Amino acid sequence: MNTVKIKNITLGEGMPKICVSLVADTLEQVQKQMEILRELPHDMIEVRLDYFESLEKEFIEKAFGIVQNMEEETAVLATFRTRAEGGEREISAAEYENLYVWLLEEKMVDAMDVELFMGEEVCKRLVKKAKEQGISTIFSNHDFNKTPEAEEMKQRLRKMKELGADVVKIAVMPNSMEDVYRLLSVTTEIKEEIQSPVITMSMGKEGMISRLIGESTGSCLTFGAGKKASAPGQISADKLKEVLEIIHSHLG
């Protein structure tokens, strides 16, 4: 399987990497949460822009400045999660694209999460700009209501790859353990087909297992909770690290 190097980590090899999410609204909260996050085991920090109280450039620059000053060597992922996919606020496609283009041009991040359902043209333009700037893209899709049929999930992941994503991601909500098993099966099959790093997760309590066994199924990144979980079913980053290391030791 192809791998993707983002700063000092390589996705697609070895133990799944741990990403912790910064879910802060004010600059004071950014500082406080970073002081907590830096003490947790992690390989990447996701900055959730949709939580920010302001999307003014000055505010964003200060927020990312705090993150980078405290975690200079850590890979930083920028994410604006739209309300339609579980985020905190609405945003138009044009505003979304303009925000991301500015972040890319300023090279404030090492990777960027782009929602597939923003549309093909937006995705194509953003991946082109990201490649020009040497920044990685993670294309994503989130369904907080259900787990789609296997072929539908595969089609979405294939489309992400087709549009040029470096890494593809899907997160779904299970209504039964059968849903969880379907997501895990899709993961093992699609990673071989598209030969690209894959991130998958089944959310909620039923899907928690999917966050732990990525080394077996082929999911290369998992999200651990810091002060506040950014999605249903996340467990604390320190406990997550322990479980991943136990599994890795038995697979190695």
**CB burial string 125-136: b at 16+ within 10 A, e below:** ebbebbeeeebb
Q: Is the dihedral of CA 8, 188, 112, 49 positive or negative?
A: negative
What residues have CB less than 8 Å from 76, skipping those under 6 apart? 7, 44, 45, 46, 47, 64, 67, 68, 108, 109, 110, 111
Q: Which of 17, 42, 142, 241 is catalytic?
A: 142
Concerning whether 239 is annotated as a catalytic residue, the answer is no
End-to-end CA distance of the chain: 18
Q: Which of 17, 161, 169, 241 is catalytic?
A: 169
**Runs of H (alpha helix) within the chain:** 27-37, 57-70, 93-106, 120-133, 150-162, 177-194, 214-217, 237-251
Which residue reads 């879910």 in tokens?
A: 23
What residues have CB less than 8 Å from 93, skipping those under 6 apart? 118, 119, 122
Helix axes 27-37, 57-70, angle to 10 degrees: 20
- Count CA atoms within 13 Å of residue 68 on its CB side: 13
Cβ of 208: how many Cβ atoms within 10 Å?
Answer: 16
Concerning whether 142 is annotated as a catalytic residue, the answer is yes
Q: Which amino acids are annotated catalytic?
A: 142, 169
